[in-house]
């Protein structure tokens, strides 16, 4: 089963700006490897006196999925584009130092869990892959922290200065009716699974049920469901606070569907037994077929419009405010 990572619209849109426009060095999962080609190294540019060599340029391009066949050729359009992106990257890395210390370890953990989910790898597989590339896990985490610091910087320097009015939201809603139609009833779930092995004894089942009852009682008393999932759940979704995503009728096992049918949004079920164990379910949203009302989608529209506007402002911020704060020389 595939699981979705819960991410606020604000963080997701900031991430889109940071990773989509900054041309930041992607955290390597499998594709980025040291460049072995023999290149006559020369200084292509410098940022605050720190040189950028042709080898740096080729490595940067390769890491970001591009091919620079002529890193020493200043007339090559691909070379020019890569150099501009790398200069921007260096300026951002310098600027982001102002935001160091603002990112907590838990945020780095969530960021890495997100990457693992997106790339379909376990934590052990990720560690093995980065080790094969000659990168230590501490280096990997440091890079992840820097990416989060960049997002935080862009949020404060660009996105927080964008204002989207209610009229803009309404205009977008009216102009894109198909975007807000639900074709079938569906529901969004989170769960905490207390797993039981195949052929479990009566004693094992009783122990698992007792544990599930205790966890459910904690949730019913107001304990944070996501934290309970991270602590107790035996399912992979624990890395996303128990989030499972959206389902339609018929997508889930009958005992789970029967439990959901009697729940309201926000309800937490009693433990539901299936061959996998005991499921504690939280109904997070329910959608019925038809057009979603504006009140329900206005926040998503606002985030989308803010992202578009921030992307446009980001380029201006780099070329004006950011450049003025750094000394850049280019030989291309």
Same domain, residue pair 96 and 17: yes
What is the residue range of 189's domain? Answer: 184-288
CATH number for 257: 3.10.50.40
pLDDT tens digits along 7-35: 344 444 444 444 443 333 333 333 333 44
Same domain, residue pair 216 and 82: no
Residue 172: inside a domain = no
Same domain, residue pair 112 and 196: no
The residues near 219 (Cβ < 8 Å, ≥ 6 apart) are 192, 225, 228, 268, 280, 282
Same domain, residue pair 319 and 244: no
Count of other CB atoms within 10 angstroms of residue 266? 9
Same domain, residue pair 105 and 238: no
In 301-326, which positions are buried (b, 16+ CB within 10 angstroms) versus exposed (e)?
bbbbbbbbbbbebbeeebeeebeeee
Same domain, residue pair 16 and 148: yes
Residue 150: inside a domain = yes
Residue 178: inside a domain = no
Residue 299: inside a domain = no
Residue 189: inside a domain = yes
Same domain, residue pair 152 and 225: no
Which residue in the block uniquely carries the two structure tokens 């090559």?
A: 76
| DSSP state letters, 55-108 | HHHHHHHHHTT---S-TT-TT-HHHHHHHHHHHHHHHHHHHGGGGTT-S-HHHH
pLDDT tens digits along 219-229: 999 999 999 99
SS3 content of the chain, % helix, strand, coil (to 5): 55, 15, 30
| DSSP state letters, 242-253 | TEEEEEETTSS-
Return d(Cα 178, Cα 144) in angstroms, integer. Answer: 37
Same domain, residue pair 30 and 77: yes
Q: Is 191 strand, coil or helix?
A: strand
Residue 113: inside a domain = yes
Return d(Cα 323, Cα 80) in angstroms, integer. Answer: 17
Q: Do the Cβ atoms of 272 and 256 come closer than 8 Å?
A: yes
Split into its structural domains, the chain has a count of 2
Residue 169: inside a domain = no
Q: Is 154 strand, coil or helix?
A: helix
Residue 263: inside a domain = yes
Same domain, residue pair 115 and 18: yes
Return d(Cα 233, Cα 215) in angstroms, integer. Answer: 10
C-alpha dist (Å) from residue 124 to 36, 128, 141: 27, 6, 14
CATH number for 142: 1.10.4030.10
Structure letter (DSSP) for residue 159: G
Same domain, residue pair 32 and 129: yes
Same domain, residue pair 248 and 154: no
Same domain, residue pair 226 and 326: no
Per-residue pLDDT for the chain (332 aa), expressed as one digit of tens each?
Answer: 322 223 344 444 444 444 443 333 333 333 333 444 444 578 888 888 889 988 888 888 888 777 777 666 777 788 888 888 899 889 988 888 888 888 999 999 999 988 887 777 788 889 999 999 888 999 999 989 988 998 888 888 888 889 999 999 999 999 999 899 887 889 999 999 999 998 899 999 999 999 999 999 999 999 999 999 999 999 988 888 899 999 998 899 999 999 999 899 999 999 999 999 999 999 999 888 888 899 989 999 999 999 899 888 888 888 888 888 888 888 77
């Amino acid at each position: 089963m595939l699981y979705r990572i819960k991410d606020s619209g604000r963080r997701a849109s900031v991430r889109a700006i940071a990773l989509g426009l900054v041309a930041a060095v992607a955290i390597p999962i499998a594709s980025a490897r040291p460049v072995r080609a023999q290149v006559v190294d020369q200084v292509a540019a410098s940022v605050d006196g720190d040189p950028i060599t042709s080898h740096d340029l080729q490595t940067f391009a390769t890491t970001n999925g591009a091919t620079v066949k002529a890193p020493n050729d200043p007339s090559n359009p691909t070379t020019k584009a890569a150099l501009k992106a790398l200069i921007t990257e260096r300026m951002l890395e310098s600027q982001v130092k102002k935001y160091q210390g603002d990112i907590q370890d838990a945020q780095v953990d969530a960021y890495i869990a997100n990457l693992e989910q997106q790339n379909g790898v376990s934590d052990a597989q990720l560690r093995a892959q980065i080790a094969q590339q000659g990168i230590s896990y501490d280096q990997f985490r440091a890079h992840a922290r820097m990416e989060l610091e960049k997002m935080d910087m862009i949020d404060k320097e660009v996105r927080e200065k964008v204002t989207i009015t209610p009229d803009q939201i309404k205009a977008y809603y009216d102009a894109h009716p198909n975007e807000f139609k639900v074709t079938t009833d569906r529901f969004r779930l989170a769960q905490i699974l207390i797993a039981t092995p195949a052929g479990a004894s009566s004693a094992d089942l009783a122990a698992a049920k007792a544990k599930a009852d205790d966890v459910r009682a904690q949730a019913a008393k107001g304990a944070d469901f996501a934290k309970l999932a991270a602590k107790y759940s035996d399912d992979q979704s624990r890395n996303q606070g128990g989030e499972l995503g959206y389902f339609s009728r018929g997508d889930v096992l009958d005992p789970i569907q029967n439990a959901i049918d009697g729940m309201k949004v926000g309800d937490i079920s009693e433990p539901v037994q299936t061959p996998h164990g005991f499921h504690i379910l939280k109904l997070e949203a329910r959608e019925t077929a038809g057009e979603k009302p504006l009140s329900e989608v206005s926040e998503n529209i606002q985030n989308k419009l803010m992202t578009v506007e921030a992307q446009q402002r980001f380029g201006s911020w780099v070329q004006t405010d950011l450049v003025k704060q750094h000394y850049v020389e280019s030989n291309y």
